[in-house]
């Protein structure tokens, strides 16, 4: 089975840190640690079978098909695949205004 390298870009790292910080402040450090580890594991699962994710409907509807997403509810992990590299572009709470965030960050 082919292995892919997973690269988490700076903005996605910032997203994960912001999620961690929010949970640590508003809930508990223990829960923040758990979510942090789970998000990282979910990203790293893309080393095998990165095509398991689907094209986000918000992007598909406007004809953009180069990005895929994977869920760790309520979080949505947006990524692209190029050759043998999976690039994680953003990790967003699915309860936020996804359409606006994607337009600002992925469709520049």
Q: What is the pLDDT of residues 74-100, one digit of tens each?
A: 999 999 999 999 999 999 998 888 888
Position 85 scores a pLDDT of: 97
Residues in the chain, pLDDT under 70 = 107-108
Helix (H) or strand (E) segment spanning residue 35: helix 29-44
Position 108 scores a pLDDT of: 60
Position 103 scores a pLDDT of: 78
Position 56 scores a pLDDT of: 92
Tokens of 14: 């910032």
Q: Which long-range contacts (CB under 8 A, 24 or more apart) does 92-98 make?
A: 92/15, 93/19, 98/56, 98/58
Helix (H) or strand (E) segment spanning residue 68: strand 67-72
Position 99 scores a pLDDT of: 80
* Domain map (residue ranges) of the chain: 5-105
d(CA 81, CA 54): 12
Position 62 scores a pLDDT of: 85
Position 77 scores a pLDDT of: 97
Considering the domain 5-105, what is its CATH architecture? 2-Layer Sandwich (3.30)
């Amino acid at each position: 089975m082919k292995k892919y390298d997973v690269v988490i870009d700076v903005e996605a790292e910032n997203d994960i840190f912001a999620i961690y910080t929010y949970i640590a402040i508003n809930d508990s450090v223990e829960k923040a640690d758990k979510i942090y580890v789970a998000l990282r594991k979910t990203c790293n699962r893309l080393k095998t079978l990165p095509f398991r994710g689907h094209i986000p409907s918000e992007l598909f509807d406007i004809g953009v098909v180069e990005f895929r997403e994977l869920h760790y509810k309520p979080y949505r992990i947006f990524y692209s695949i190029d050759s043998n590299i999976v690039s994680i572009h953003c990790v967003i709470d699915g309860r936020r205004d996804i359409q606006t965030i994607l337009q600002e960050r992925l469709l520049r």
